[in-house]
Every structure is written in structure tokens, then in C-alpha cells.
Chains A and B, each alone.
Chain A
Amino acid sequence: MVEAVCGACCQEKEDSFKAPQRAAMMPDLRAIKADWNFIMKNGDGWRDHLAVALNSIQDSIGRFSPSGKMGISGLLLIVFIAIFAPFVTFYEPSAISGMSLEPPGPEHILGTDELGMDIWSQICYGARMSLLIGLAVAMISGLGGGFLGLMAGYMGGNWDRALLRTIDITMALPSFPLLIVIAAFLNPSILNVMLVLVFLSWAKPARVVRSQALAMKKQQYIISARLHGAGPVYIIRRHIMPEALPLIFVSILNISSYAIVAESGLAFLGLGDPTSKSWGMMLHYATSFRSIYFTPYWQWWLMPPLIALIFLLLCLAFIGRDMERIVDPRLRSRGGQ
């Protein structure tokens, strides 16, 4: 062992003599070429990132806690019902298929509402509504906001300052009152609701990703990559993206919860799309029914959408919490390493 140490002591001098010379003679040419090769080889980069993301998701699922796994199974169940709604129901959701306010029975497994529409059908088709809104809003604002944050954080300068200001102001906006008033004035269509939700929810992922990019930019391996001649494209793809994607993914989960809650809240207030049969709208109709609490109707009219919503949100929350724990071990044991 002593020999080896000695060898190292003596070898060091030779190397330290050669290395600066080498560096002086070949100014980063090789590094630039390597960067170029990398980009050429991975020409369709999105596929690469998708693979990275899928891999990390796959890894993560293995590390889910029991509650996280429960969440995933629950979410899959709801997704299944939503996709195969026509096959698991017997009636169109807006078809008057029975008597008004029939209790659950063989004809209508969850009974009927005031207009004689099948409640089970409404639940199944309503799932589509909630999932669609949640997913669409979350994808747009999560990816869009994340992208903005990434760019601003990495580029810095005036763009970053402007974005930070915008984020601050957007986050200061009281979202729910704003949502109500916009929904009240605009056409209560699903599209409008989604646009408003995106407008109100992009700031958080942008902020999270921005600060991540900002922190990473100062990491020494990124600085040295840049000194080796790597361009921003390379650095963002190779170093920053893989770190930022899980954060974006967590944001997407959280935003989809938020969007689902917001939509059903609006619908509950009577600001939903009257043409849609969302779970929120069901709640709205049920609670608007006069003295529903003095009749037994609430048991099959109010309970199903209520339970469905709570179930969906809990599933999302369980997944989200596990994801957060998995992608950021620092959250669990800060200062551990």
C-alpha cells in the first residue's frame, strides 16, 4: 500500500506538468465536438427525456409506500371507469330512464335523480369530466410553467426578473374569488374554466423549477461542463431537465387536484357548464334541491358524487405525497448528507 502511495506522489509531478500544456494547446475543441456528437446522436431528444422520465417513474413506483400504491390503484380504477363508461353503465347519463328520485335498486343501482336520470351513469361519465379538467389544466400549466421557469432560471437577467415579478403577482392573486367572477361573466364552458385555471396555476411550477434551475446553475459540475464548452441546450437537457422533470411531475399531480377541486367548487356554486354532468354539478343539483336533508334522497343523490370526489382527491394526494417524498429525499431528511 505504501508503494502505491509513493507511486502516486511521484507520478503527480509528471501529470501536473503535462496537463496544463495539453489544455493550452487544445482549447475545448474536443469538448465541443463531444457536445455536438451528443446532440447528433440523440437527435430526437424528447424521446430521450421521455425515456428518462419513464425510467424515473418506473423507479419511483417501486419505491411507493402502501398508501401510494393504494392511490395508484384507485386512480387507475377511476380512469378505467371513465374510459369505459359506456360499457359499465346501462343508460345515457342525461337520459330520463326512470322515475324521479328512485332509490337504489336492480334497475338503477344507485337510484335516480330528480329528473329520473341514472346516478351511476352520471358518476361514470362525470369521472371523464374531472379527469379531463384535472389532466389538461395540470399538463398545460405544469409543463408550460415549468418550461418558463427553467428558461428564466437558466438564462437569468431581465427575463428572469420579469418572470419572477409576474410569478409573484400571479401568486398574490386571490385565486378563488377571481375564478368565480371570471366564470360568472364568461360563458360557463369547460374550455373557459380550464383557461382560467391555467392562468391561475402556472406560477407555482414555474417558481419551483426556476429556483431549481437557478440553484443547479451554480453547481460546479455544470460550471465545469460549461467550461468544457457545453452549450445551454446540452446543459439543460443533460443536467437540469432530469432534475427538474420530477418536480414538474409533482406539480402536475398537485395542480390536477387543484383543478378538480376548483371545477367542482364552481359547479357547486352553480357556475359550472350546465351541459356537462360533472360530479360538481351533481352536488350542485342535489344541494339545491329544497329540503334535501329532510328527505332520504341525499343518501343516494348527494353521497355518490361526494364519495367519488373525495376518493379521487385522496388517491391523487396519496400519489402526490409519495412522489414528493421519492423525488426529493431532502424533504424527508434535510441536512442528512
Chain B
Amino acid sequence: MKGRGTKGVAFQYATALFLILVLNFFLPRMMPGDPFLILSADSENEVISVLTEEQRQYFISYYGLDRPIYEQFAGYIFSVARGDLGESIYYKVPVWEAIWTRLPWTALIVLGATLMSTVAGVLLGLYSARHRDGPADKILMAGLISFAEIPSFLLGLVILLAFSVKLKAFPLAGAITPFAHYSHPLDAIWDIGYHASLPMITLSLTQLTGIFLLTRNTLVTVMTRDYIRTARAKGIGERLVWNRHALRNALLPVVTRVGFMIGMLMGGAVLVENVFSYPGVGSLLRSSVIARDYPLIQGIMLVMAFSILTANYLVEIVYERLDPRTSSGEAA
């Protein structure tokens, strides 16, 4: 992280984005045979998307397969920059619109899980570090580490089976109760929260351990530093030593971690939404995969990649601002 300027970071993310665009552009053209002749059917789904001649023509003109390749690429970049991601074959609406209706749900659980795991992770980490090698610390370490190793969708399945199927304490699917009429806005918020809680908990559990361990171990290391001894010598009390001197240093790596966490949570959300049949972008992706709705798949991936890259980029910028050692006013 150190030693790279903001420019280097920007270049890195710009290149990654460009790479994704190139991939997105060439993938359909690399498909074996004529992809648009697939008469696809997924046996256990009623969604059978047989391409009509009309759709075939749409594909050819959308991908511009009749023009030279560089022209096609320039056109592709241009339309993406304009926000034109093409039209969904299955939903028969612009891709952007299809994604936009689902995006809030995904944002809700991803951001909610980020918040939950960060706050809980930092608090637990602080507690564990302060009571290092005590019984609570040991239990937390052992318990949380097991969660970290189970990928989100498997954990989601376990949670779904336990709480929704067995205990019937939470809904099996959806983001709101169907056909519900709310008498009060709070009821709506409650209903949304009730539906979002299991996916959110699942996602945050997978990231909680990382934050917890990072906070705890960084704090433990930070507490051995000379400046902590200096702070203690000042007689400002143990509480301030932890909260002002130790935590501030320990939070720096947590900030980085949170940024990369958003990326992982986005990936995890795709699967977890499908586990809980939560109507976010992830569910949309699965239906578009099943329906072989290529423009939609590409659009979703582009939107996701773009948000992940932006989140990571922002985190690096924020980190550089936060840590005076890497900030640009250093040339003293």
C-alpha cells in the first residue's frame, strides 16, 4: 500500500476497469459456434428461451457483428459510457432498468452487512484485545474462526434451514411480505428489516471474523508499541490510552479491510440472495443465467465490477488521507 501514489492507485483501477470492458466486449465474440442458435432449455425451469429470429437480429445489431472489430469496440465503449447497456432479452426492458429496480435490495443487504460486521467486529475485537487470553477472548477466537471458513452461500443454506425451515422464525423468501398493506411507515421498515435480516446476518457473519481478528491482532500489536507506553506515562488513564491512542492506529487497517470487504460481500450477495430468494441483483443474475440473457449478464457484471472497483479505490484514497504517514504532505 505504501510507496504508491494516488496516481498509481488510480492507474491500477482504471486498468482493471478497462480490462473488464475488454473482456466484456470480446467474450460474446469468443463464444464457440453461433451462440444465438442455442435452443436452450433448463429442464427443471419453465423458463425456456428459444431465440426467435427477431431476437437473433437484435443480438447481431446490438453486438454490431456486421461491423469491423475496432468500430464495434469503440461503439461498445461509447454506449457503456452513456449508460446504455443494451436490452434484456428475457425481460424486454433496457438492462440498466432491470438492474436498477433490483439494485436497492442488494445495496441494502451489502451495506447493512458491512455496517454490522464492522461495528460488531471492531467492538468484539476491542473487547477481546482488552481481555487477551481470558476465557471470553478464547471463546470468541474459537467460535468466530469457524464461521470465517464457511463460504457465504453454504452458511446461508445452514441458516435458512435452521431458522426458516426448521424454526420457521424467518421468511423463506422475498424482501417484503407479498401484497402487504402497511398502515404505518414503521411497519414497512420493520417488514423490510425482517426479510433482510437473515441474508444480512449471513453476509456479515462471513466478514465478521476478518474484522474481529484484524482489530484484535492489530490492537495487540499496537499495544506493544512505544507510543502506547508514552501515552500511559502521561497518566491520562487506561480508557483514553485504548480509545484515543490504540484504537485510532488499529482502525487504519480495518478501513482498508472494509473496502475490500464490500467487494467480497458483493460477490457473496450474488449467491446469498439466491439462497434466500432475495430479489436483488444476485437473483437477477441467476435468472438471466438460466434464461441465457447475455446482455443482462454482462450488464450486471459490469455494474458489480464497477461498484467494487469504485469502493476499493475510494477506500485506498480514504486510507491515504487517514494515515498521515502516506498522505501527500510528507515532503518535509
**When the two chains form the complex, which single residue of B28, B145, B157 contacts A321, counting CB atoms closer than 8 Å?**
B145
Q: Give chain B interface residues in 27-83, CB to chain A under 8 Å.
A: 27-28, 30-32, 35, 42, 44-45
Stretch at the interface among A11-19, A43-51, A80-88, A176-184: A176-184
Stretch at the interface among B126-134, B189-197, B305-313: B305-313
Docked Cα-Cα span, A99 to B182, in Å, equals 47
Shortest A318–chain B CB gap in Å is: 8
Q: Give chain A interface residues in 299-337, CB to chain B under 8 Å.
A: 302-303, 306, 309-310, 313-314, 316-317, 321, 334-335
**With A271-B289, A302-B157, A314-B149: A182-B12 Cβ-Cβ less than 8 Å:** no
Docked Cα-Cα span, A176 to B260, in Å, equals 13
Docked Cα-Cα span, A79 to B30, in Å, equals 37
**Are B221's CB and A181's CB within 8 A?**
no
**Are A178's CB and B275's CB within 8 A?**
no
* B278: Cβ under 8 A from any A Cβ: no
**With A169-B12, A268-B274, A269-B286: A178-B305 Cβ-Cβ less than 8 Å:** yes
Number of B residues, CB within 8 Å of A: 56
**Are B151's CB and A172's CB within 8 A?**
no
Docked Cα-Cα span, A52 to B270, in Å, equals 43
* A174: Cβ under 8 A from any B Cβ: yes
**With A269-B286, A321-B145: A310-B305 Cβ-Cβ less than 8 Å:** no
Shortest B58–chain A CB gap in Å is: 18
**When the two chains form the complex, which single residue of B19, B44, B153 contacts A289, counting CB atoms closer than 8 Å?**
B44
**Are A181's CB and B24's CB within 8 A?**
yes
Chain B residues, Cβ within 8 Å of A289:
44
Residue of B nearest to A286 (CB): B157
Docked Cα-Cα span, A174 to B303, in Å, equals 11
Docked Cα-Cα span, A290 to B312, in Å, equals 38
* A91: Cβ under 8 A from any B Cβ: no
**With A310-B150, A314-B150: A174-B304 Cβ-Cβ less than 8 Å:** yes
**When the two chains form the complex, which single residue of A165, A187, A257, A335 contacts B32, counting CB atoms closer than 8 Å?**
A187
* B298: Cβ under 8 A from any A Cβ: yes
Docked Cα-Cα span, A181 to B13, in Å, equals 19
**With A177-B304, A180-B285, A180-B289: A169-B16 Cβ-Cβ less than 8 Å:** yes
**When the two chains form the complex, which single residue of B28, B158, B224 contacts A306, counting CB atoms closer than 8 Å?**
B158
Docked Cα-Cα span, A269 to B270, in Å, equals 9
Shortest A65–chain B CB gap in Å is: 11
**Are B161's CB and A298's CB within 8 A?**
yes
* B326: Cβ under 8 A from any A Cβ: no
**Are B308's CB and A174's CB within 8 A?**
yes
Number of A residues, CB within 8 Å of B: 46
Docked Cα-Cα span, A185 to B36, in Å, equals 12
**Are B294's CB and A176's CB within 8 A?**
no
* A90: Cβ under 8 A from any B Cβ: no
Chain A residues, Cβ within 8 Å of B148:
317
* B267: Cβ under 8 A from any A Cβ: yes
B interface, by DSSP: helix, strand, loop or mixed?
A: helix
Chain A residues, Cβ within 8 Å of B44:
114, 285, 288-290
Chain A residues, Cβ within 8 Å of B20:
173-174, 178
Shortest A317–chain B CB gap in Å is: 4
Indicate the member of A184, A303, A306, A317 with the most B CB atoms within 10 Å. Answer: A184
* B266: Cβ under 8 A from any A Cβ: yes
Docked Cα-Cα span, A321 to B155, in Å, equals 20
Chain A residues, Cβ within 8 Å of B164:
293
**Are A177's CB and B266's CB within 8 A?**
yes
Chain B residues, Cβ within 8 Å of A261:
151
**Are A265's CB and B165's CB within 8 A?**
no
Residue of B nearest to A185 (CB): B27
**Are B28's CB and A180's CB within 8 A?**
no
* B15: Cβ under 8 A from any A Cβ: yes
**When the two chains form the complex, which single residue of B12, B24, B172, B224 contacts A168, counting CB atoms closer than 8 Å?**
B12
* B110: Cβ under 8 A from any A Cβ: no
**Are B267's CB and A174's CB within 8 A?**
yes
**When the two chains form the complex, which single residue of A172, A180, A313 contacts B297, counting CB atoms closer than 8 Å?**
A180
**Are A313's CB and B271's CB within 8 A?**
no
**With A268-B274, A313-B151: A177-B12 Cβ-Cβ less than 8 Å:** no
**With A173-B16, A269-B286, A293-B165: A310-B158 Cβ-Cβ less than 8 Å:** yes
**Are A265's CB and B301's CB within 8 A?**
no
**When the two chains form the complex, which single residue of B145, B301, B309 contacts A181, counting CB atoms closer than 8 Å?**
B301
* B169: Cβ under 8 A from any A Cβ: no
**When the two chains form the complex, which single residue of B165, B172, B289, B301 contacts A270, counting CB atoms closer than 8 Å?**
B289
Chain A residues, Cβ within 8 Å of B16:
169, 172-173
**Are B309's CB and A172's CB within 8 A?**
yes
Chain B residues, Cβ within 8 Å of A269:
270-271, 274, 285-286, 289
**Are B267's CB and A176's CB within 8 A?**
yes
**With A176-B270, A184-B294, A269-B286: A317-B23 Cβ-Cβ less than 8 Å:** no
Chain A residues, Cβ within 8 Å of B285:
180, 269
Chain A residues, Cβ within 8 Å of B301:
177-178, 180-181
Docked Cα-Cα span, A182 to B221, in Å, equals 42
Chain B residues, Cβ within 8 Å of A293:
160-161, 164-165, 172
**When the two chains form the complex, which single residue of B42, B150, B157, B270 contacts A313, counting CB atoms closer than 8 Å?**
B150
**Are A174's CB and B275's CB within 8 A?**
no
Residue of B nearest to A170 (CB): B16
**Are A186's CB and B31's CB within 8 A?**
yes
**Are B45's CB and A177's CB within 8 A?**
no
Identify the 5 closest CB pairs spanning chains A and B, nearest first.
A176-B267, A317-B149, A174-B308, A181-B301, A172-B16
What are 29 A-B residue pairs whose CB atoms fall within 8 Å in the complex?
A: A168-B12, A169-B12, A169-B19, A172-B312, A174-B263, A176-B270, A177-B270, A177-B305, A178-B305, A180-B270, A181-B24, A181-B27, A264-B151, A264-B154, A265-B271, A268-B274, A269-B289, A283-B157, A285-B44, A287-B275, A288-B45, A302-B157, A306-B158, A316-B149, A317-B148, A317-B149, A321-B145, A334-B221, A335-B224
| Residues in A lying within 8 Å of B, measured CB to CB | 114, 165, 168-169, 172-178, 180-182, 184-187, 257, 261, 264-265, 268-271, 283, 285, 287-290, 293, 298, 302-303, 306, 309-310, 313-314, 316-317, 321, 334-335
